[in-house]
């Protein structure tokens, strides 16, 4: 169903943020809840919101009683790893060699990588995620396929060719020269086209030589509009290995900082095993941590210190990290994030979690005017959600006494089955087949 050029109005309970909710605050002025409003979408952007029904000229979709939120932003996810989601029995380093590298090697096949890219983006949309920061593979074709599929769908996608010139299987290794040429070509083709942006993509410090890290750093310095994405301090054995590989570095994060890879456009996945100095450096740079709760639990990596990051002023966004993560659903990941904080003796509010997957992620990416909110002028990346899927959630929903209680129960119990529709730039990109 194409609605290009149409003026579309969607009725429901609008929920987004006008600021960052404080830690532990269940009653927050940053929450904007507008029950029973019509959200107006014109030329792919949000044009307004009102309580009265819009006039005849608007194509109306009445979802009264349902929640309408900005599409979720997944700030760290691997497109080729759909094929290894839920793989048994390993921690990070074994998981990479046993499950992940073989799946990524299959992306040398262009037909396979193109089919995977489409499947992956459609799966994101079917989980209510309309924007993402993505790792494809080392293969140039995997990046071309992902960006082309994202452009077709009008999605905001940030991605780049994975750099890996050591400590990886032969069929997944590049080198400083070919990696550099591939990046140049991909940046020229995709960076700034449609809603796409290039991220210099260092898999992690263990799989790039110091020379390749330096090349990546030079590229970021030469063009500050480029993003940078990598993994940091995820797993204890990994941290020990990095110490062996870079004995002169003060910390794992400093390996990246020394190479010029720590800046306001850097997205660092995980950041579990950091210290105060690292957190201060992340905050000073305006970099972000893509907290990946279901992955951290599934791979047994550790409990992320969200509050310490918050207190240090570090931007924290939320990510699925599929296939280390066990669901593309940002709601499932929020529920896991709450449990991680509970194990650490902390409480994560629904506001903090939802903000990290919408406005917070958008701002940390420098895209606050485009995505992550229902503000007038934002791109109309919007999802419509059922409040409950099934009798247990429905019963819990009606018993909730406050908005936070209700939304927290929703966040904890909901998943992709609750998704009714997803719009990207005002276009319908997902519609549940069996609507109730």
Q: Which option in ligand GUN, Zn ion, none does residue 234 bind, with CB closer than 5 to 8 A by kind?
A: ligand GUN
Looking at 13, 321, 381, 397, which residue binds Zn ion (CB under 5 A)?
A: 321
**Interacting span for Zn ion (CB under 5 A) from 5-13, 160-168, 189-197, 317-325:** 317-325
Q: Which option in ligand GUN, Zn ion, none does residue 16 bind, with CB closer than 5 to 8 A by kind?
A: none
203 binds ligand GUN (CB under 6 A): yes
78 binds ligand GUN (CB under 6 A): yes
104 binds Zn ion (CB under 5 A): no
In whole angstroms, the minimum distance from the beta carbon of 97 to ligand GUN comes to 11
Binding-site string for Zn ion from residue 251 to residue 290, where x marks contact by CB under 5 A and - marks none: ------------------x---------------------
**Interacting span for ligand GUN (CB under 6 A) from 20-28, 92-100, 149-157, 273-281:** 92-100
Q: Which option in ligand GUN, Zn ion, none does residue 203 bind, with CB closer than 5 to 8 A by kind?
A: ligand GUN
Looking at 321, 381, 386, 427, which residue binds ligand GUN (CB under 6 A)?
A: 321
Q: And the tokens for 167? A: 């400590």
In whole angstroms, the minimum distance from the beta carbon of 96 to ligand GUN comes to 6
Q: Which option in ligand GUN, Zn ion, none does residue 312 bind, with CB closer than 5 to 8 A by kind?
A: none
In whole angstroms, the minimum distance from the beta carbon of 39 to ligand GUN comes to 36
83/386 with CB nearer Zn ion: 83
234 binds Zn ion (CB under 5 A): no
Looking at 204, 246, 252, 338, which residue binds ligand GUN (CB under 6 A)?
A: 204
Rg (C-alpha) for the chain, rounded Å, is 21
238/321 with CB nearer Zn ion: 321
78/404 with CB nearer ligand GUN: 78
In whole angstroms, the minimum distance from the beta carbon of 101 to ligand GUN comes to 9
Q: Which residues bind Zn ion (CB under 5 A)?
A: 269, 321
Q: Which residues bind ligand GUN (CB under 6 A)?
A: 78, 92, 96, 100, 203-204, 231, 234, 295, 321, 324
């Amino acid at each position: 169903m194409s609605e290009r050029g149409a003026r579309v109005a969607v009725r429901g309970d609008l929920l987004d943020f006008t600021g960052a909710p404080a830690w532990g605050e269940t009653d927050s002025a940053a929450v904007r809840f507008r029950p029973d409003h019509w959200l107006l979408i014109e030329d792919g952007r949000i044009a307004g919101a009102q309580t009265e029904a819009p006039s005849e000229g608007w194509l109306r979709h009445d979802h009264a009683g349902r929640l309408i939120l900005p599409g979720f932003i997944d700030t760290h996810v691997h497109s080729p790893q759909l094929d290894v989601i839920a793989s048994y029995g390993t921690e990070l380093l074994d998981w990479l060699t046993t499950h992940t590298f073989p799946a990524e090697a299959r992306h040398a096949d262009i037909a396979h990588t193109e089919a995977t890219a489409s499947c992956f983006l459609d799966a994101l949309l079917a989980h209510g995620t309309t924007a993402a920061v993505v790792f494809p593979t080392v293969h140039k074709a995997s990046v071309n396929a992902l960006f082309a599929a994202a452009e077709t769908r009008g999605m905001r996608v940030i991605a780049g060719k994975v750099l890996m010139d050591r400590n990886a299987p032969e069929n997944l290794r590049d080198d400083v020269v070919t990696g550099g040429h591939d990046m140049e070509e991909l940046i020229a083709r995709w960076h700034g086209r449609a809603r796409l942006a290039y991220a210099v993509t260092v898999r992690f410090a263990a799989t790039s030589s110091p020379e390749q890290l330096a090349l990546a750093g030079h590229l970021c310095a030469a063009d500050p509009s480029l993003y940078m994405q990598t993994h940091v301090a995820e797993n204890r054995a990994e941290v020990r290995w990095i110490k062996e590989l870079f004995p002169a570095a003060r910390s794992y994060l400093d390996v990246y900082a020394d190479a010029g890879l720590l800046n306001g456009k850097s997205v660092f996945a995980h950041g579990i095993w950091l210290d105060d100095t690292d957190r201060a450096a992340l905050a000073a740079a305006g970099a972000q941590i893509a907290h990946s709760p279901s992955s951290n639990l599934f791979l047994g990596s550790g409990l992320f210190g969200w509050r310490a990051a918050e207190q240090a002023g570090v931007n924290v966004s939320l990510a699925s990290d599929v296939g280390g993560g066990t669901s593309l659903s940002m709601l499932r990941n929020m529920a896991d994030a709450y449990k991680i904080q509970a194990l650490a003796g902390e409480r994560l509010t629904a506001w903090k979690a939802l903000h990290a997957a919408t406005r917070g992620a958008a701002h940390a990416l420098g895209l606050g005017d485009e995505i992550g909110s229902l503000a007038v002028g934002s791109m109309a990346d919007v999802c419509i959600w059922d409040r409950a899927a099934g009798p247990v959630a429905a019963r819990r929903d009606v018993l909730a006494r406050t908005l936070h209680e209700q939304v927290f129960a929703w966040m904890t119990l909901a998943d992709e089955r609750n998704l009714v529709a997803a719009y990207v730039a005002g276009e319908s990109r997902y519609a549940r087949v069996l609507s109730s």
